[in-house]
Amino acid sequence: MVYDYYASGAEDQWTLQENRNAFSRILFRPRILIDVSKIDMTTTVLGFKISMPIMLAPTAMQKMAHPEGEYATARAASAAGTIMTLSSWATSSVEEVASTGPGIRFFQLYVYRDRNVVAQLVRRAERAGFKAIALTVDTPRLGRRESDIKNRFTLPPFLTLKNFEGLDLGKMDKADDSGLASYVAGQIDRTLSWKDVKWLQTITSLPILVKGVLTAEDARIAVQAGAAGIIVSNHGARQLDYVPATIMALEEVVKAAQGRIPVFLDGGVRRGTDVFKALALGASGIFIGRPVVFSLAAEGEAGVRKVLSMLREEFELTMALSGCRSLKEITRQHIMTDWDSPRALPAPRL
């Protein structure tokens, strides 16, 4: 039940496969004979300096994967010098995660029907030292995840959604289909709209990242609404099936944002080469989700550390072999895509 919850996507799972497959349609145009003896992967995200443009996406209920759950993930992210995003539906609270020690952490927010719950949660995240809110905007209803329906997915009895424990919203009832889908139907606000992004800005001074944008139209509105950044995401292909892979939607969103706010990507990143491709298409950084929960299940904190170091080393090697010494040297000219016309590339100098 737990493996299926982490691994599956919505309905036919076409987008789930496409999130991966789309990366393989982007090829490199490496530049040679450049001194790559020193490679700098550092970057800043919302003013916070991190060791690499690889961050941790919010993934729910991590204690289903490993007894240490979000504690282990937080320590691994901090050791790697990067940002962890804690899920609203974590099995550890914002205070517990903060207690693991220093680290730059963002808080992913679902907007509940009861806005007092939301305001309280945001205040707790602020007090616990979280630095930004990642507002998930693609889930007015939960996608149809058929393995969860088949398994009658519910949170194991010894776990709770820790952030909601005191509010009597921490437990998920058993259901004839997916217990999570029933929970969402009962608790999450379907009326959520752009005016609520404005409302959120009135209750917190934290920067707000809008997570779940796939189109230029919504990117433009996000900029106008005062978002601090955009995360191009299809929710790990778990919401609407047959939306494009995030790497395919990225360039459209980047162009619409016109450099006014940073654009990030999650979905399908499994290698350092994928990170480079996203940056070449204009992303300021990427987030990984499933690699975190799978490595956490395998080896706890050490597993998550290993995934982060593998991605880091692969990305550094990709940079070196492409002739890029810093993130700003990674450009659109370093890749070619199957939608490039020959004219999109610079004319050769004879």
User: Between vectors from CA 317 to CA 313 and to CA 322, what angle results, nearest 5°?
Assistant: 150
Of residues 238, 326, 245, 239, the one with CA closest to residue 279: 326
DSSP 107: E
The two three-digit tokens of residue 79, written as one number:
């050791």
> Collapsing DSSP states into helix, strand and coil, what is residue 57?
coil
Buried b (16+ CB within 10 A) or exposed e, 227-248: bbbbbbbbbbbbbebebbbbbb
* Among 137, 111, 104, residue whose Cα is nearest residue 203: 111
Place of tokens 């170091």: 309
**Which pair of tokens denotes residue 255?**
């162009």
The H-or-E segment that residue 106 falls in is strand 105-109
Dihedral sign, CA of 238, 239, 242, 247?
A: negative
Do you know the residue count of the chain?
350
The catalytic position among 66, 144, 235, 238 is 235
Rounded Cα distance between 248 and 17, Å, is: 13
Nearest CA among 103, 102, 109 for reference residue 125: 109
- Rg over CA atoms, the chain: 20
CB 269 within 8 A of CB 323: no
- The answer to whether the Cα torsion of 334, 257, 245, 311 is positive or negative is positive
What single letter denotes the amino acid at residue 52?
Answer: M
In whole angstroms, give the CA distance from residue 118 to residue 201.
Answer: 13
Residue 235 is a catalytic residue: yes
Q: Please list the helix, strand and coil fractions of the chain in percent, rounded to the nearest 5, in that order.
A: 45, 15, 40
Query: Which are the catalytic amino acids?
Result: 235
